[in-house]
Structure 1
Amino acid sequence: MSRFADPVYCVVRLIVGLAYACHGGQKLFGYPGGGHGMSGLAFLAGIIELVCGFLIAFGLFTRVAAFLASGEMAVAYFIFYVGTVPTLEAKFFPIMNGGELALVNCWIFFFIIFYGPGRWSIDAVLRKGRSNAGPA
């Protein structure tokens, strides 16, 4: 099973990153599914989601992108989900405050910060190219 770890991690990173980028595209361009013309925090979130989503998906500057994405999801969770519900119980349980996706994304991106881009990534190709480059 461990021989499939690298390609499976690549697929997970690709799916999570592209899904995250879709949220940014929705906020900024209204595609897919509306929401065009956001301003303020939503506009900033859209930029982070679109750019970091693609970077994570393809494994370029992966740790930095995952750090920004995880932070954005943590802020979103506490401001827009925990911060807007009236009861203590709803603040504690993501299923009650609607913040499950933000919470799960936050922790997936947090994991990616520490796991890194993986072998099947642009970062790995660039790193390999640098190590093969001889002195000038």
Structure 2
Amino acid sequence: MTQTNRLQHAAIGATRIVVGFLFLIHGASTLWGFPSEPASGVVAQFGAWPGWWAAAIQVVGGTLVMLGLGSRVAALICSGSMAYAYFVSHQPAGLTPVENGGETAALFCWAFLLLAAVGPGAFALQSLLPGRRSATAPATRHADAGVRAGAA
């Protein structure tokens, strides 16, 4: 793996950890009022649609993405939940995210979609599982390995 590839791999991993953590605390705020009160000022009631379910996806999905466990699937689900939030809660109030207050939902949606596409990057716990390798880690094979093997 080249120095550039290692840096890209680390940057993807760091982004995954930060985005997952931010999503986790956003959901924790809505579910439990921790680490701060939710933006609405009210903690979601158990089972209430869509607030409680969205917060549950945020806590579980954010944790999985942050840890790098099943992160592609978790990121895709998180992205879908934010697309739903944007189009149902924000978009009817205005055309652009600046007008309708949907910047956070839009950013989370696209960040998770990107992570679902490129994989978990470095520092993912799933790479420690037997027979698993991070999906974004390129093989560490030298370009001239075949030439050397044939010359022997």
Counterpart of 2:44 in structure 1 is 37
Q: How far, CA to CA, are the matches of 1:80 and 1:37 in structure 2?
A: 16
**Once the 2 structures are TM-superposed, how far is the Cα of residue 124 of structure 1 from its aligned partner?**
1.6
Bigger proportion of residues as helix: 1
CA contact (8 A) 1:117 1:124 kept: no
Which of 47, 53, 69 matches 2:78?
69
- Which sits farther off after the overlay, 53-62 or 34-43? 34-43
1:124 aligned to 2:127? yes
CA contact (8 A) 2:44 2:51 kept: no
CA-based RMSD of the aligned residues comes to 1.4
Could you list the runs of 5+ residues in structure 2 that have no partner in the other structure?
Answer: 133-152
Q: Runs ≥4 in structure 1, deviation > 4 angstroms?
A: none
CA contact (8 A) 1:14 1:58 kept: yes
1:106 aligned to 2:109? yes
Aligned length: 123
Could you list the runs of 5+ residues in structure 1 that have no partner in the other structure?
Answer: 132-136
CA contact (8 A) 2:29 2:37 kept: yes
The structure with more radius of gyration: 2
Task: State the TM-score, normalizing by the size of structure 1.
Answer: 0.84
Q: How far, CA to CA, are the matches of 1:113 and 1:8 in structure 2?
A: 15
Task: State the TM-score, normalizing by the size of structure 2.
Answer: 0.75
Quick one: percent identity of the two aligned structures? 33
- The 1:124/1:48 distance shift into structure 2, 3 A limit, reads same
